[in-house]
Amino acid sequence: MGIDSLIGGTIWDEYSQKVCELMNNPKNMGEITEEEAASMKAKLIVADFGAESCGDAVRLYWAVDPKNDIILDAKFKSFGCGTAIASSDTMAELCKGKSVDEALKITNIDVEKAMRDTPDIPAVPPQKMHCSVMAYDVIKKAASQYKGVDMASFEHEIIVCECARVSLSTLREVIRINDLTTVEQITDYTKAGAFCKSCVRPGGHEAKDIYLVDLLTEYEKEKMTHVADEANAGNVDFSKMTIVQRLKAVEKVIDENIRQMLIMDGGNVEILDIKENGANFDIYIRYLGACSGCASSSTGTLFAMESILKDKLDENIRVIPL
């Protein structure tokens, strides 16, 4: 019984024809021996990399010309699924003829796009995108061995989405510049979260230190802090403030312009509530101390307080004593 009949022939709709062919007939599977590398006057590099999330692993062989760092030949062995075989084979093919530094520029997106039948249709389903990430990582491992440096030295930024290779700094900048509020918007702008979705929120294919939902929460807190700061500085319209910001703004105006005079006369005022009433903002107050029985509390003092609040905050303010 063929594999197509076992799975009903439907799963293949998510794989490109190139991927299906490379699963069964990879062009670069095998190894490069010391003797073969010597015959090319090349340095042999053998690098291993495994993906903890799925248990797949790949071994990459490079024959590198030490005179110009050109990769003369590349082969691989894959210990994993068919997609890992196809991705590794494509990765090896892309390495051939490039310098080691040029190979380092090959990304997992390059690997995935090289396996597409048509430019706009992904070669593999989202949950299999990590296989091309593994192909990208083994290139870094091979390059680090050839150059005699640590693999981490090639990574200059924190990568949040491994599938699309989107960094933390890029995501923060895109979210702020475009005022993004949903994961779907982030994906539209950056492709982060479009593939295996592990970076979206906890509970995905593999654990992350930072998720897209964390960055949205971070940005929302920044916006709230910014609005509060502007409100305190008088730069935000009273009508656009939250109820808490309105209360703080009213208290600030009263503290700076009214309260001290009331205290000098043995009184004070308490802000009870602020309610929108049509186009008006009704501020409910309660007089304290000597002000509670003063005749001017409903005339002169009240008018002065309302006039100052209208001038400082909003012309539609009404002050209502209780």
- Annotated catalytic sites, by residue? 54, 131
Cα distance between residue 266 and residue 264, in whole Å: 5
Angle value at C-alpha 103, between 98 and 107, nearest 5 degrees: 140
> Contact at 8 Å (CB) between 204 and 213?
no
In this structure, which amino acid lies at residue 267?
G
Angle value at C-alpha 195, between 190 and 201, nearest 5 degrees: 80
Q: At what angle do helices 168-178 and 183-190 cross, to 10 degrees?
A: 110
Inter-CA distances, 111 with 58, 84, 90, Å: 15, 11, 6
Q: Is 196 helix (H, G, I), strand (E, B) or coil?
A: coil
Task: Kindly report the three-state secondary structure assignment for every residue of 294-307.
Answer: CHHHHCHHHHHHHH
Angle value at C-alpha 19, between 14 and 23, nearest 5 degrees: 120
Cα distance between residue 202 and residue 2, in whole Å: 38
Q: At what angle do helices 243-257 and 212-232 cross, to 10 degrees?
A: 30
